[in-house]
């Protein structure tokens, strides 16, 4: 293990009991959320809620507003209208320190840096210590590196990793932060099939074990069907459907993606989407 001194003013008090829920048992509530860049409307009156212990897949074509929504949910962007409530409190009234403990965001594009993988993941513990990482922090990093298959890369500089390895490091950093809510923007886009499987399985297990929430934008509908509990489908900044698997129909998918599809289910109960031959002329 490394012992790293890191500057900052974060408190060293013990962690508060978590997760913190709204009175109705919800983790996050979004009501009539809108956002615009200048005159261009990007999100239009989105309303949904996020439950503990669930993985929610954010689905939609390119340019539909998925990344913008994730940035609004962690207060990187300020919505034009509407409300976001975190544990019952309006997000705009929650302190930056509290947000840094309760929400972790992994962007689609991750900047590499000339620090080791271990140090990069340890940064996820920064909201909990001031100068010197405690044994608890180091143990959390060790466990997460092992869980995501990154232990052998612990001493390697992040700027010498592949794109897929960098994505896994970013996820590890978010997970050791121990947030209530994980926001992931296309976390599997640079991963091969094996690493995609391992990451999504680990993510789903951690969400259920810690009773936290995860919202991840995805383009792979079949991966979403396999690993997510709920689906938010967006087109042109509007919420088309908020569904669980039994409510996700070919008609909804066609409405969102302008592509006719069929949904099939295997003998083992796994559903998958295939292109409908109506496209063949």
Res 126: pLDDT: 86
The tokens describing 142, both together, are 């060790």
Q: What is the CATH number of domain 28-113+174-279?
A: 3.40.50.300
Whether the upstream peptide bond of residue 19 has omega within 30° of 0, thus cis, is: yes
Beta-bridge partner residues of 43: 35
Total Cβ atoms within 10 A of residue 212:
24
Q: What is the pLDDT of residues 101-124, one digit of tens each?
A: 899 999 988 777 789 999 999 999
Q: What is the pLDDT of residues 115-149, one digit of tens each?
A: 999 999 999 988 887 778 888 889 999 999 998 88
Res 186: pLDDT: 92
What is the pTM (predicted TM-score) of this model? 0.85
Q: What is the pLDDT of residues 25-83, one digit of tens each?
A: 568 999 999 999 988 999 999 999 999 999 999 999 999 999 999 999 999 999 999 99
Domain locations in the chain as residue ranges: 28-113+174-279
- Rounded to 10 deg, the angle between the 193-210 and 163-176 helix axes is 10
Q: What is the pLDDT of residues 170-183, one digit of tens each?
A: 999 999 999 999 99
- Rounded to 10 deg, the angle between the 135-147 and 163-176 helix axes is 140
Instruction: Give the integer Cα–Cα distance in Å for 74 and 183.
Output: 8
Q: What is the pLDDT of residues 209-254, one digit of tens each?
A: 999 999 999 999 999 999 999 999 999 999 999 999 888 999 999 9
């Amino acid at each position: 293990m490394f012992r790293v001194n890191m500057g900052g003013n974060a408190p060293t008090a013990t962690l508060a009991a978590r997760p913190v829920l709204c009175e109705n048992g919800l983790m996050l509530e979004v009501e009539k959320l809108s956002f615009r860049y200048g005159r261009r409307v990007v999100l239009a009156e989105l309303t949904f809620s996020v439950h503990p212990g669930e993985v929610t897949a954010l689905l939609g074509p390119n340019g539909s507003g998925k990344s913008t929504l994730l940035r609004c949910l962690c207060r990187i962007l300020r919505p034009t209208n509407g409300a976001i409530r975190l544990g019952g409190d309006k997000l705009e009234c929650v302190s930056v320190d509290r947000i840094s403990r309760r929400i972790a965001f992994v962007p689609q594009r991750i900047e590499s840096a000339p620090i080791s993988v271990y140090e990069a993941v340890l940064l996820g513990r920064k909201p909990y210590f001031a100068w010197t990482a405690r044994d608890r922090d180091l143990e959390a990093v060790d466990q997460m590196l092992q869980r995501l298959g990154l232990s052998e890369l612990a001493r390697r500089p992040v700027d010498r990793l592949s794109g897929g390895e960098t994505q896994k490091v970013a996820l590890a950093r978010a997970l050791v932060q121990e947030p209530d809510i994980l926001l992931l923007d296309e976390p599997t886009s640079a991963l091969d099939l094996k690493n995609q499987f391992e990451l999504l399985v680990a993510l789903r297990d951690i969400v259920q074990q810690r009773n936290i929430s995860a919202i991840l934008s995805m383009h792979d509908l079949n991966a979403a069907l396999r690993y997510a509990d709920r689906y938010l489908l967006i087109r042109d900044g509007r919420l088309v459907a908020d569904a669980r698997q039994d409510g996700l129909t070919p008609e909804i998918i066609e409405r969102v993606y302008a592509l006719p599809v069929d949904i099939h289910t295997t003998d083992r109960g796994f559903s998958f989407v295939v292109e409908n031959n109506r496209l063949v002329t």
